[in-house]
Structure 1
C-alpha cells in the first residue's frame, strides 16, 4: 500500500510531516495547531473600530522550484481549487527544471503634483536646476533609509495637461514595501517646491503603478508533461498558446486570465503580510499600460516544440514593516518559506502566478475548468451542510456524480447516508 499523499493527510499529520522534513519548527507547528486568534491589543492596534477577527485557512504549495531552490510556499485563500491548482503546476514545472525569475530593479515611485503656478515652464526649469537641493531635502526627510543604502534616486519633472506640475520621484525602499517612506519624502519635497515656487500642493503620495519593481518569471515545458487522459501534450500546448492569443485581443477574457494569475499571487502576498490591494492595483495598471488591457503572461511554442511561459508583474513586496512584524502567523509563514530578501520573495510570488496561469489554461483547454473545481466545491459543500469527518468522503463521492451540486442536494444525500448507516 502506498503512503497517502500530502493533501490526503489530516491537518495534524501535515504539520507533523513538515516538522519531520524540517520545513517547520516544532514551535511553529504547535502555534498553527493551536489556532489562536490575535489578542485584542494587537488586533485593535492594527485597525480602527475593531470588533472581531475574520479567519481564513493557511495552506502550502509543496516543492516549488525557483532558480534551483525548492520552496514550501504558504497561501491564504478561501477558494478550494487555488492551492490544488498551484500544487499541480508546481509538479509539472519540477519535471521541467523549475521556474527562472529575476527582478532587474526594485524601486517605488512617488508623485508630487502642484497647481496654480504662474508659469509652468519656469517651474519645470527650476526643478531641473535644483535637483541637488531636492535630493538633500529627501535625505533629511528620511535619513534612516539613506543609511541602509536607499532613498531618493531620481526626479523627473513634467507638465501635465497644461495645468499640473508633476515630479515623479524614484525611491529605493530597500527591504520594505515602502509606502510610508515614499510618502514622507514626497511630502517634504512638495513643501520645498511650494516654498520656492508658490502654487498649491494638490497631492504628494506614492503611486501603486510600481513599474520600477517588475519581476519576471519564465518556464519551459516539454509538451508530454501537459498531456491529459484525452489529449496529447502537443495539442494541449498549442491550445494554451491559442488561449493566450485570444486573451490578447479580447478584453473580457484578458480580465479573467489575469484574475486567475492573481488567485495565486494574492494568496502568497496575504500569507506573507504584504499589501494585496497594492499588488492588485500595480498588476492591473501594468496590464493596461499600452492603452489596451493585456494578459500578464505570454505562452509560445519554441522551435523545438517546447512550451515557453513568461510573466511580467510589478511586485513591490516587503520583508519588513506593515503587519509583517506584528502578526505571528505571518512570521511563521516567512519561516516556512525561508526567503532571505524581498527580491527573492517577489520571484517566488511571480512563479506562483505563472504556475497558477499554467494550471488554469491547461484545465480550460482540456477537461474544462469545472471538473477540478466541482470536486473541491463538493467537499466544501459537504462540510457546509454538517458532514462529519467520516461522512465527508462518501458524501463527496455522491455529490461529484450529482446532476445538481447545491445545498439541497447535499442535505438530501447526507440524510440518506445517515439513514443507511443506522
Structure 2
C-alpha cells in the first residue's frame, strides 16, 4: 500500500541513517529490507553468481527517494537508483509543485506483451493469414495449455494477429501473440509460447519460422499520466505573473524538443533519468523500457520527438501529459532476487504491475518539468552544480572536512567551474 504521507519536512538535512529510519517508519518496512538498504545494496557472492555469468564482484549505486508525490489521490515515496546529482531533488520539487490540482493522474493498459514469430518462405501469404485466423482459438488454447500461475490468475495468450512485411529479402509473414502477463514483465512466458507454437504456425502457413521472440515495443501496454501545475506553484516568488512568465518559457523550451530531434534526444534523456532510475531501483529491465519508450515515440508521431506534451489551459495552468509503453513487473526477475529491489518495492507499496507503470511515468513527467523549468529560468547548471560540487571536491582529492570546504568554494564561484580550478583551490586550502 502507498504511504499515508510522502512529505517530510527538512528531509535533505537529515543524516543517511535518519532518512532511512524515517522511510522505514513511513513505509512500515520489514527489518530485512532496512538491513538490505543499510548494506548499500551489496549482493553476496552466491546471489550475484546466480544473476549473471562470469561474476567477479558487484558495484553499488546510490539509492535515494523522491518525496511529495501524490498519484491518483495516494501518497508515494519513490526510490531512485542512479549516479547523477539533481535528479531526485528536481523530481521531488516538481511533485511538491503539483498539489493544488490534486497531483498526478494515471491510467494504464492491461499488461499485454507481444511475442513475434517471423515466418519466411510462405507460398501463399493471404492463405496463410486466413489459416491462422481460422485456427486462432485452438492456437491460443495450445499456448495456454501449460502449468502457469500467470495463466491461473487470468493471464495468458489473449489474441493472435498477423501482418505482411515488405523487406529487401521478400515479403515476410509476421505473427503476433498478445499475452496478458499479469504482474510479471513477461519475457520468459512470451518467449516460451512463441517457441512452443512455432511447429503449428509452420504447418498452417507451409513456411519456415525463423525468429521467435518478444518485442520490447510494448504497444499494448501503455501507461499514461496527466498533471496540472498552477502559475503560482511554478513561480519563484509565489505570484501569478511570475508563474505565467515561467510557463511561457517552459512552453518555448518544449516546442524546441517537439520539432528538433537533437534537442528531443536530451529532453527525453531527462525523462528517462527518472523512469530508468526507478526501474533500476525496483529490479526492472530498464534497457527494455528505454528501447520501447524511444521506439513508441517515433512510431506514434512518425518521427523522433518529445515523449511528453506540455500545453497551457484556459485558466493559464501548465498541463503535462505523457504516454509510454511500460513493460514492468513485481513478480519474478531481479525484483525477487535482489534484496534492495525488494526493499524498494516495499517502500513504493505498489500492488500491481500497472500501478508500478503509472508511478514510473509520473516520475518521468516530474523530472522532465524540473529540467524544463531550470533550463528556461536559471539554467540547468545552477542547481546541478550545487549538488555536483561535492563530487568535484572528491575528484580533486579532498578528504574529510576538506570536501565540505572545497564544495562551498566551488558553489560560491560565479564564473565557469572546472575540475582544474577545484584542484588548484584544494592546493590553496591545504597551504593555508
TM-score (norm 1): 0.94
Q: 2:188 — aligned with what?
A: 180
Give, in whole Å, the separation in 2 of the partners of 1:163 and 1:22: 54
Give, in whole Å, the separation in 2 of the partners of 1:389 and 1:292: 50
Structure 1 window deviating more from structure 2 (16-25 vs 330-339): it is: 16-25
Q: How big is the shift at 1:378?
A: 1.0
What does 1:71-220 align with in structure 2 at a 5 Å threshold?
71-141=76-146, 143-161=148-166, 163-220=171-228
Deviations 1:341-381 (A, max 9, x none): 11111111110000001101001111111111111221111
Q: How big is the shift at 1:25?
A: 4.4
Q: 2:277 — aligned with what?
A: 267
Q: 2:47 — aligned with what?
A: 42
Structure 1 window deviating more from structure 2 (119-128 vs 195-204): it is: 195-204
Q: CA distance change for structure 1 residues 367 and 106 in 2, over 3 Å: closer, same or farther?
A: same
Pick one of 238, 242, 251 that aligns with 1:232.
Answer: 242
Q: How big is the shift at 1:28?
A: 2.8
The answer to whether residue 364 in structure 2 is matched with residue 353 in structure 1 is yes
Structure 1 window deviating more from structure 2 (8-17 vs 174-183): it is: 8-17
Q: CA distance change for structure 1 residues 36 and 285 in 2, over 3 Å: closer, same or farther?
A: closer
Q: How big is the shift at 1:43?
A: 0.7
Q: CA distance change for structure 1 residues 413 and 67 in 2, over 3 Å: closer, same or farther?
A: same
Deviations 1:386-405 (A, max 9, x none): 43343333211211233442
Structure 1 window deviating more from structure 2 (96-105 vs 385-394): it is: 385-394
Q: CA distance change for structure 1 residues 24 and 140 in 2, over 3 Å: closer, same or farther?
A: closer
Q: 1:52 — aligned with what?
A: 57
- For structure 1, the residue ranges without an aligned partner over 5 or more in a row are none
The answer to whether residue 314 in structure 2 is matched with residue 320 in structure 1 is no
Q: 1:278 — aligned with what?
A: 288
Q: 1:367 — aligned with what?
A: 378
Structure 1 window deviating more from structure 2 (25-34 vs 214-223): it is: 25-34
- Aligned partners of 2:201 and 2:209 also within 8 Å: no
SS in 1 for 2:334: coil
How well do the aligned residues superpose, as a CA RMSD in angstroms?
Answer: 2.0
Q: CA distance change for structure 1 residues 27 and 153 in 2, over 3 Å: closer, same or farther?
A: closer
Deviations 1:312-337 (A, max 9, x none): 11111100111111100111111111
Q: 1:398 — aligned with what?
A: 409
Q: How big is the shift at 1:52?
A: 1.3
Q: How big is the shift at 1:63?
A: 2.7
Q: CA distance change for structure 1 residues 265 and 204 in 2, over 3 Å: closer, same or farther?
A: same
Give, in whole Å, the separation in 2 of the partners of 1:31 and 1:297: 35
Give, in whole Å, the separation in 2 of the partners of 1:221 and 1:150: 38
Q: 2:3 — aligned with what?
A: none
Q: CA distance change for structure 1 residues 36 and 82 in 2, over 3 Å: closer, same or farther?
A: closer
Give, in whole Å, the separation in 2 of the partners of 1:291 and 1:302: 26
Q: 1:340 — aligned with what?
A: 351
SS in 2 for 1:137: helix
Q: CA distance change for structure 1 residues 31 and 121 in 2, over 3 Å: closer, same or farther?
A: closer
Q: How big is the shift at 1:97?
A: 2.0
- For structure 2, the residue ranges without an aligned partner over 5 or more in a row are 1-7
Pick one of 253, 264, 275 that aligns with 1:243.
Answer: 253
Give, in whole Å, the separation in 1 of the partners of 2:277 and 2:346: 17
Q: CA distance change for structure 1 residues 373 and 121 in 2, over 3 Å: closer, same or farther?
A: same
